[in-house]
Amino acid sequence: MNIDRKKLELFLEKTPDYVSPKEYLEQYITPSNVASKILWEAFIRGDIEGKTILDLGCGTLRLGIGALFLGAHRIIGIDIDYDVLAYTYKWLCSNGLLYKALLVLGDVRDTHFYNIDTIIMNPPFGVKKRNRGIDMIFLSKALSLGNSVYTMHKYSSGARRLIREIAKAFNSRIVHEEIIEFPIKMIYKHHRRRIYRIKVDLYGIKRCSGHE
């Protein structure tokens, strides 16, 4: 199949959204245009096709399912929310994709995986007081598990400095950094606008080789 980013974005529109998103978990679907951007960046760098992909805090597994569309060998998604995993499991079954997917119920901080090629994720941004710093916990875990990490974080100069420090601590370098607009639909009671648009940094981070 001749794949391009537009076909990927159209495919992602058909993947599942949250039925009953939980605000305390900061559950927001990754918009298809944003998901296609991060997936395409990983794809053109050779980090998806034929690879084992891990999605930390996978939610409805939109990023993982998109990776399958781009030729991933296998996808693994982990999330702490049983309800969303049960819903995603049914979707994978009905679409004939379960044989290439593994869903894991658990806390990202307490789990370990082996033989992972690439991590692609949209972690919670940590905007809720109880979740402060959670996105950096996700990043550290991802960098400990694989050689290539594609992730997004709410933009701030402080976050940028911290991400660079964490990457360096894991002997990794940033190979892609881009500010994008992330639209959030009105899904929670406190929302007053139809769409909120926030700035998000998209990163590609790779483990340094022995020659670097």
Instruction: Map out the domains of the chain with their CATH numbers.
Output: 5-207 (3.40.50.150)
Give the pLDDT band of residue 16 (cuts 50, 70, 90).
confident
Q: Which residue has the tokens 């999605």?
A: 55
Give the pLDDT band of residue 187 (cuts 50, 70, 90).
low
User: If you average pLDDT over every residue of the chain, what do you get?
Assistant: 89
| CA angle centred on 88, ends 86 and 91, rounded to 5° | 115
What is residue 175's predicted lDDT score, i.e. its pLDDT?
A: 97
**Which residue has better confidence, 135 or 28?**
135
For the chain, the maximum distance between any two Cα atoms, rounded to a whole number of angstroms, is: 52
CB half-sphere exposure, 53, CA atoms < 13 A: 33
What is residue 171's predicted lDDT score, i.e. its pLDDT?
A: 96
CB half-sphere exposure, 25, CA atoms < 13 A: 19
For residue 113, which phi and psi values (nearest 5 degrees)? -130, 155
Give the pLDDT band of residue 49 (cuts 50, 70, 90).
very high
**Which residue has better confidence, 38 or 23?**
38
